[in-house]
Amino acid sequence: MAPSPVERRPVSAPLHRRATLAALVAVGGVVGTLARHGLGLLFPDDPGQWPVTTFAVNIAGAFLLGMLLEALTRFGRGAPGGSGTGRSTLVRLGVGTGMLGAFTTYSTLALDTDLLLHRGAAGAAVSYALATVLVGAVTCALGIAVGARLGPRVAGRPERDGS
């Protein structure tokens, strides 16, 4: 008996199990890490002071990630949760997950907050942590607004604001 057409179709691995896509995320991660490290060398933060460079990196990364994901969603394929390997998906994984994921550094946010607390600068620690999260959310929303202006919505995908 011949196998049914469903049985003959090759099953593609999920995105997170594809070695080439994992490598793309890793390469993007190296680029993002080097960019963040380079900025840290150019603009070093004073120990015990508000970590301005890490704050700026996280805020810039939140804006860029919001803009990127909205723009990719507007252009169709590669939207978050998509399963294709089109150009948009490659950009989302390489630039979004890899580069911007490594560029932003919430582990350093936690470390810097802890260091400020241990140095007796509780006010600076709390303001730094809260400002990073709140300003990051606002700048991400601004990035989404900018990304929305980059191109028309793909047919069949409703606008977020109901229009």
Binding-site residue positions: 101, 104
Annotated binding site for Na(+): 101, 104
Contacts of 10 (CB under 8 A, 6+ apart): none
C-beta atoms surrounding 101 within 10 Å: 19
Question: Which of 28, 24, 37 is CA-nearest to residue 98?
Answer: 28
In the block, which residue shows the tokens 């995908």?
157
- The number of C-alpha atoms within 13 Å of 104 and in the hemisphere containing its C-beta is 20
